[in-house]
């Protein structure tokens, strides 16, 4: 087995890559508008009730429509998953890992095609789409290796006259509920980690990106994953979500999404249903109000670039998005000026034409973000953007609001769109206090050239992923285990050495000789 290595990102400046992407966009365009089934126990089920997925960058374009799971079908999927678990749990972990290696290889071969689906279905530009596909490959390569590592029993300190060991065994049937913003990477990471550890899964994809999810379910079928190990059950979270989370046979829930839904799931999962014989485990990764802190000693140009990339990459729709910038008063005007220039230079347009800025995910998000911009205008000084943008979709100008007080709503609440709040700090220490002054704690970044300040920040900036002199988005599988503190979630550290244990339980075995 080769050592884990992150998948290289595609350089679209190269002619052959640009052409490959254009060809993939053309191929996928010809496939738009199809109908997709549920998959339960390997059976493709088309239902009467279907939900449409549209291109947020061109709302007249139908990506496809997806059959929806009702309660009866959810129950059927639960039974299929239970039945599959009865054998899948005993399959050699190394064989289980092979399904992930095989799927990673297949995804690598079809990289451009999957990127093209992301461009159409959720409005990522080419590089953002490619980054998501590469991360999906990384997750499978990483978790497969992790499973191989964890497959051998753990050596325990010797006890006279006994042979002792500890194994990790799977939990049971898991409900996997991913978000739409990394429609492949997060979905693939959450699903394959649960599967490779020997569990069976009901995958309920996020509604805005059901087609990409369906494509992945198809891919797992192609690599020969046994029937019933992965059941694909799209449907509105609010309708089947509660049923699945509350089900007595549900052993664990792996969720990534908003704070509100995460807390709701946690609460519901804590109630014991009649017939339930375990305490459900909940892994919930939630929102963020991440920030970049700029110290007086920082490289200001680099800091300004990182602020703009972190705030506006994929229209600010990343849990790690740097939606706040906290700048030392001595360099505030200089950094702000550069941030405004760089923001004004971002071109907005159709994702398939690879503009820097595309649409936001859907109509609900569009209206919510525009409302926050209006709130922001009353909480600070609008210095860039400030309204919707042209186009047949959910386009919003990248917006910068300066001179915002730490307590302001746009400094406290996750907007999940292209809105940056900028705050001035009187000292480095005050900047760190402002950084910590939210209920979240996902990512953070400090730009500085002062070693003592790095030491101070390493102890006091309270976030799961802290970066020095680097943007606060784009965590790499393996190198940057990912997950946040406080209301950002359970700090599961995806892509890290502790992640797979969350889907297993340790069994200790002793034999007296």
**Stretch binding ligand NAP (CB under 6 A), from 239-247, 306-314, 335-343, 419-427:** 239-247
Tokens of 395: 């386009």
The full 3-state SS of 399-445, as one line of letters, equals EEEECCCCCCHHHHCCCCCCEEEEEEECCHHHHHHHHHCCCCCCEEE
Region binding ligand NAP by CB under 6 A among candidate stretches 17-25, 26-34, 257-265, 421-429: 257-265
Query: Which of the ranges 134-142, 144-152, 391-399, 481-489 carries the binding residues for ligand NAP, by CB under 6 A?
Result: 481-489
Tokens of 344: 């004004």
Catalytic, 79? Answer no
Determine, following the binding rule CB under 6 A, whether residue 185 of this chain makes contact with ligand NAP: no
Classify strands 58-67 and 50-55 as parallel, antiparallel or unpaired: antiparallel
Region of 100-108, 155-163, 201-209, 446-454 interacting with ligand NAP (CB under 6 A): 201-209
Of the CA atoms within 13 Å of residue 473, those in its CB half-sphere come to 25
> Smallest distance, Å, CB 335 to ligand NAP?
25
SS3 assignment, position 454: helix
The question of whether 319 is a catalytic residue gets the answer yes
Q: Name which of 186 and 311 has its Cβ closer to ligand NAP.
A: 186
List the helix and strand counts (H, then E) for the chain. 15, 20
Residue 508: strand, helix, or coil = strand
Q: CB of 53 within 8 A of CB of 64? A: yes
Q: Which of residues 494-513 bind ligand NAP (CB under 6 A)?
A: none
Nearest-approach distance from CB 220 to ligand NAP, in angstroms: 18
Tell me the site size for ligand NAP, rule CB under 6 A: 32
* Of residues 377-416, those binding ligand NAP (CB under 6 A): 414, 416
State how far the Cα of 97 lies from the Cα of 409, in Å rounded to an integer: 45
Query: Of 479, 411, 486, 474, which Cα lies nearest the Cα of 442?
Result: 486
Q: Is 73 in the site for ligand NAP (CB under 6 A)?
A: no
> What is the phi/psi pair of residue 295, to 5°?
-85, 160
Q: Residue 403 Cβ, how far from ligand NAP at the closest point, in Å? A: 26
The nearest distance, CB 122 to ligand NAP, in angstroms, is: 11
Q: What are phi and psi of 107, to 5 degrees?
A: -65, -40
Q: Given the rule CB under 6 A, which of 153-161, 237-245, 303-311, 397-405 is the region that contacts ligand NAP?
A: 237-245
Among residues 118, 141, 285, 379, the one annotated as catalytic is: 285
The contact mask relative to ligand NAP for 410-429 (x = CB under 6 A, - = no) is ----x-x-------------
Footprint on residues 278-337 left by ligand NAP (CB under 6 A): 285-288, 319
Helices (H), 203-275: 210-222, 242-246, 259-270
- 207 near ligand NAP (CB under 6 A): yes
For position 448 contacting ligand NAP by CB under 6 A, the verdict is no
d(CA 128, CA 121): 13
The verdict on 446 binding ligand NAP (CB under 6 A) reads no
Assess 142 for contact with ligand NAP (CB under 6 A): no
Other CB atoms within a 10 A radius of the CB of residue 122 amount to 33
CA proximity to 4, closest of 116, 131, 144, 134: 144
Nearer of residues 53 and 343 to ligand NAP, judged by Cβ: 53
Given 112, 114, 180, 503, the residue binding ligand NAP (CB under 6 A): 180
Residue 149 neighbours by CB distance under 10 Å: 13
Nearer to ligand NAP, 261 or 327 (CB): 261
Q: Which of 7, 118, 128, 319 is catalytic?
A: 319
How wide is the angle at C-alpha 56 spanned by C-alphas 51 and 59, nearest 5°?
75
- Kindly list the residues in this chain that would bind ligand NAP in the complex (CB under 6 A): 177-181, 186, 204, 206-207, 236-238, 241-242, 245, 256-258, 261, 264-265, 285-288, 319, 414, 416, 442, 484, 488-489
Give me the active site residues, please.
285, 319
């Amino acid at each position: 087995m080769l050592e884990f290595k992150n998948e290289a990102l595609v350089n679209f400046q190269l002619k052959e890559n640009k052409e490959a992407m254009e060809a993939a966009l053309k191929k996928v365009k010809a496939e738009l508008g199809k109908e997709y089934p549920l998959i339960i126990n390997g059976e493709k089920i088309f239902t009467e009730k279907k939900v449409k997925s549209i291109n947020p960058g061109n709302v007249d374009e139908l990506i496809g429509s997806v059959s929806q799971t009702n309660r009866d079908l959810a129950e059927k999927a639960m039974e299929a998953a239970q039945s599959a678990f009865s054998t899948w749990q005993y399959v050699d972990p190394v064989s289980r890992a092979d399904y992930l290696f095989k799927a990673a290889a297949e995804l690598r071969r079809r990289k451009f095609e999957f990127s093209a689906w992301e461009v159409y279905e959720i409005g990522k530009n080419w590089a953002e789409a490619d980054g998501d596909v590469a991360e999906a490959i990384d997750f499978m390569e990483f978790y497969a290796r992790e499973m191989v590592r964890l497959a051998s029993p753990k050596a325990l300190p010797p006890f006279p006259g006994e042979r002792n060991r500890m194994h990790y065994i799977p939990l049971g049937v898991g409900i996997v509920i991913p978000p739409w913003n990394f429609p492949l990477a997060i979905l693939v990471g959450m699903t394959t980690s649960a599967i490779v550890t020997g569990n069976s899964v009901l995958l309920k994809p996020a509604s805005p990106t059901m087609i990409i999810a369906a494509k992945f379910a198809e891919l797992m079928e192609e690599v020969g994953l046994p029937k019933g190990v992965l059941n694909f059950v799209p449907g509105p979270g609010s309708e089947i979500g509660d049923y699945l989370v509350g089900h007595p046979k549900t052993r664990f829930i792996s969720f990534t999404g908003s704070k509100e839904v995460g807390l709701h799931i946690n609460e519901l999962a804590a109630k014991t249903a009649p017939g339930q014989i375990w305490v459900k485990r909940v892994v919930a990764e939630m929102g963020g109000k991440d920030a970049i802190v700029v110290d007086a000693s920082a490289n200001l140009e680099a800091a300004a670039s990182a602020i703009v990339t972190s705030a506006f990459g994929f229209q600010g729709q990343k849990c790690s998005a740097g939606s706040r910038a906290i700048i030392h008063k001595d360099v505030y005007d200089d950094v702000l000026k550069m941030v405004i220039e760089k923001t004004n230079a971002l071109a907005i347009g159709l994702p398939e034409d690879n503009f820097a800025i595309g649409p936001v995910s859907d109509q609900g998000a569009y209206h919510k973000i525009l409302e926050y911009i209006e709130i922001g205008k009353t909480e600070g000084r609008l210095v860039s953007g400030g309204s919707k943008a042209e186009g047949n979709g959910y386009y919003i100008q990248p917006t910068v609001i300066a001179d915002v007080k730490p307590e302001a709503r746009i400094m406290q609440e996750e907007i999940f769109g292209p809105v940056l709040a900028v705050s001035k700090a009187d000292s480095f220490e005050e900047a760190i206090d402002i950084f910590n002054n939210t209920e979240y704690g996902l990512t953070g970044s400090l730009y500085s050239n002062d070693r003592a300040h790095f030491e101070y920040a390493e102890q006091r900036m309270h976030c799961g992923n802290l970066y020095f002199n680097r943007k606060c988005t784009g965590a790499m599988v393996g190198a940057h285990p990912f997950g946040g503190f406080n209301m950002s979630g359970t700090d599961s550290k995806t892509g890290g050495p502790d992640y797979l244990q969350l889907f297993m339980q340790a069994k200790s075995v002793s034999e007296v000789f």
